[in-house]
Amino acid sequence: MNVELFKQPLTTILSDITLEFVNRSQCLTHPHATLLSGAKFEGKSEQICLLHEHKLLVCGLDNESNEEYRIAMTLAIKTLSSTNYASLKLSAPKEPFFQATIEGVILGGYSFQDYKSKPNITAFKNVYFAYSSDYDFDHFQSILTKTLIISNATNFTRNLVNQTPYDMTPITMSIVAQELANTNNLECTILDINGLKDEKMEAMLAVGRASVNPPRLIHLSYKPSNPTKVITLVGKGLTYDSGGLSLKAATSMVTMKMDKAGGCAVMGMIKAISELGLNIEVHAFIGAVENMIGGDAYKPDDVLTAKNGKTIEVRNTDAEGRLVLADVLGYAQEKVNADYIFDFATLTGACMVALGSYTTGVMGHNENLKNSFLSTSDNSGEYCAILPFNRHLKKLIKSDLADVCNVSSKPYGGAITAALFLDHFIDDNMKEKWVHFDIAGPAYTESAYDVHTYGGTGAGVRMMLEWMIQSSK
Ligand code: BES
Ligand code: ZN
Ligand code: ZN
């Protein structure tokens, strides 16, 4: 999609059709009020009316909020994609709704067609914004540039998540990372099985052992010359999670190609960070592994020694993400002395039970740091909520055999006990600098909502970018 901002009045821009946002009262006084009411259009949220004879697309808005603009614009783009119109013009809404509207265009207009023998080709490809002279044009142009980078990085993440487990293996992920490093001037280091053995990453190796697709640890870094801080991002990159010997039920296994969404998200983040040229040094570590069954599969009853020396009693091979993260977090902390360490993982079904499918679970020890993500959530368009630790939940992952057990002894609070497991692999000096994001709910959707179509959503990317931009001011 081509999106442009013009420093000229709306009427002087040439396009096939014009978009107007209209609320209930504007609907009553609209020049085409009769036509609109004939079409049962009342200016409500998620209502749209296409007046072909007037080359006008009217979109309803309940109120002025980021969410309303994002959803209205998504509906507009979807509607136009099934017409033969090629271009649309509209007045740029004021801040912050301009950003939300652009997100509606790029994120709402996304569609994944790679596996269709006859992809849908739409004629619609241009959106022109007319800027009102009341605002600062250069500022609006910079919002457009920033939003395009972040939205396109979100779509990059979605594309990776949507690839089948056959197409997107740990090796393919490492090739994608290498290509991203080449185009975006990043450093890239990849560890294969021998490298993982040298680094004593027994937990990650155990999870990947039964797969014909060997694991890879990917490390991408973006290093501006005088960074104000250093941030480490860690992503769970399970290219497929069958559950291993603790095999998932048939219906729960479907969609488990999305278990790499955390890894794909941190790749999208570093892509956007480098394109925005933020003055922050960023390292992205991805544990790319496939959890499968086989004669040499790791087993419930195994005891694994993680990179930091702690021993783990395995009682369920489907709690594999935390084993991979245990080693990747250990490796990341050894390699980089960061100001913050954030991990993103589709870690637990329990997080979806707690918060629903639309919200990221935020966990960690530092209250201010966790809260700082809540305040960026409205701007970014992602929902997140804090799930609190407590001493009683911490005891549920004690092991009689090893240092810690990979599952809780009780069935409740599974998102938190998973995070408390990760806490065993966070060094003492990093405790206050760490936040864990469980994106199991929002990373993937099988029914469209907000700016999301079927499949990967790119959860985490917009939220993290918004936070980085706020904190680099
Ligand atoms: N990848 C899953 C978590 C998941 C479930 C993500 C549904 C997205 C949607 C994870 O590896 C897993 O299987 N977790 C288990 C943990 C349990 C064995 C303690 C779960 O949530 O059931
Ligand atoms: Zn699992
Ligand atoms: Zn998993």
Q: Which atom of ligand 1 is nearest to the CA of 346?
A: 6
On average, the pLDDT of the chain sits at 97
Kindly list the catalytic residues: 248, 322
**Does position 116 have pLDDT exceeding 80, yes or no?**
yes
Give residue 149 CA to ligand 2 midpoint distance, Å: 32
120 and 159 together in one domain: no
pLDDT of residue 135: 74
CATH code (residue 90): 3.40.220.10
Residue with the smallest CA separation from ligand 1 atom 5 is 349
Residue with the smallest CA separation from ligand 1 atom 13 is 318
Q: With respect to residue 144, please indicate whether it lies within any of the assigned structural domains.
A: no
The model's pLDDT over 161-172, given as tens digits with 9 standing for 90+, comes to 999 999 999 999
**Does position 376 have pLDDT exceeding 90, yes or no?**
no
Which of the two residues, 106 and 377, has the higher pLDDT score? 106
Q: For 390-418, what is the mean pLDDT? A: 98
Q: With respect to residue 146, please indicate whether it lies within any of the assigned structural domains.
A: no
Which among 103, 135, 167 is the end of a domain? Answer: 135
Question: 120-123 contacts: CB < 8 A, separation 24 or more?
Answer: 120/81, 122/81, 122/82, 123/83, 123/84, 123/85, 123/86
263 and 393 together in one domain: yes
161 and 116 together in one domain: no
CATH code (residue 221): 3.40.630.10
210 and 294 together in one domain: yes
How sure is the predictor about 339, in pLDDT bands with cuts at 50, 70 and 90? very high
pLDDT of residue 473: 79
**Does position 375 have pLDDT exceeding 90, yes or no?**
no
pLDDT of residue 364: 98
Residues whose beta carbon lies within 6 Å of some atom of ligand 1: 241, 259, 316, 318-321, 346-350, 407, 414, 440
Q: With respect to residue 440, please indicate whether it lies within any of the assigned structural domains.
A: yes
pLDDT of residue 472: 82
**Does position 459 have pLDDT exceeding 80, yes or no?**
yes
Residue with the smallest CA separation from ligand 1 atom 3 is 348
Q: Which residues contact 262 (CB under 8 A, 6 or more apart)?
A: 234, 235, 236, 237, 343, 344, 345, 346, 347, 437, 439, 443, 460
pLDDT of residue 333: 98
pLDDT of residue 377: 79
Give residue 28 CA to ligand 2 midpoint distance, Å: 54
CA-based Rg of the chain, rounded to a whole angstrom? Answer: 24
How sure is the predictor about 299, in pLDDT bands with cuts at 50, 70 and 90? very high
How many structural domains compose the chain?
Answer: 2
**Does position 471 have pLDDT exceeding 90, yes or no?**
no
Q: With respect to residue 465, please indicate whether it lies within any of the assigned structural domains.
A: yes
289 and 415 together in one domain: yes
195 and 230 together in one domain: yes
Which of the two residues, 330 and 471, has the higher pLDDT score? 330
394 and 320 together in one domain: yes
Q: For 381-397, what is the mean pLDDT? A: 97
From the CA of 438, the nearest ligand is 1
pLDDT of residue 250: 98
Domain that holds residue 436: 152-472
99 and 182 together in one domain: no
Q: Which atom of ligand 1 is nearest to the CA of 316?
A: 18
The model's pLDDT over 423-449, given as tens digits with 9 standing for 90+, comes to 999 999 999 999 999 999 999 999 999
